[in-house]
Amino acid sequence: MALGEGSALLIGELSERTGVSARLLRYYEQQGLLRSARAANGYRHYAVEDVEKVRRIRSLLNVGLPLRTVELLLPCVVDASPRVIPCENLVATLRQEVARLDEASNEIDRCRTLILDILHRSGADELVGASTGS
């Protein structure tokens, strides 16, 4: 990206357009998800296309994918929608993530059952119905 062509955004502008804090944008850059050019004054300059890239990063993170997986899948995601392009290992990576989420969900269910059992045995059944909506 060449600086001074009007196509570069400062970090504050990228933050404003995406709703992502400058601190988080710097973190994404540190993790290799974003790249910036540096001006002589040290300011970061991002491409206008990085607005959509940051939106894709946020979308992937918002569905529960870890950063390492986002890095792998980022080139496969067309835009902030769920549309994807064919990408090597995409299906295998997503299946691994579904398995990881299933394990986490099972653990949450196990913990919830344990807590409800403790409440039941403590005679606090009235709290159980109020907190679970039953």
Per residue in 4-55, pLDDT (tens digit) is 445 799 999 999 999 999 999 999 999 999 999 999 998 999 999 999 999 9
pLDDT of residue 53: 93
Q: What is the pTM of this model?
A: 0.66
Measured CA to CA, the distance from residue 55 to residue 58 in angstroms comes to 5
Q: How many domains does the chain have?
A: 2
- Same domain flag for 60 and 2: yes
Helix axes 11-18, 50-62, angle to 10 degrees: 50
- Same domain flag for 118 and 131: yes
- Same domain flag for 36 and 51: yes
Band (pLDDT 50/70/90 cuts) for residue 124 is: confident
- Same domain flag for 79 and 100: no
- Same domain flag for 32 and 74: yes
The parent domain of residue 113 ranges over 88-134
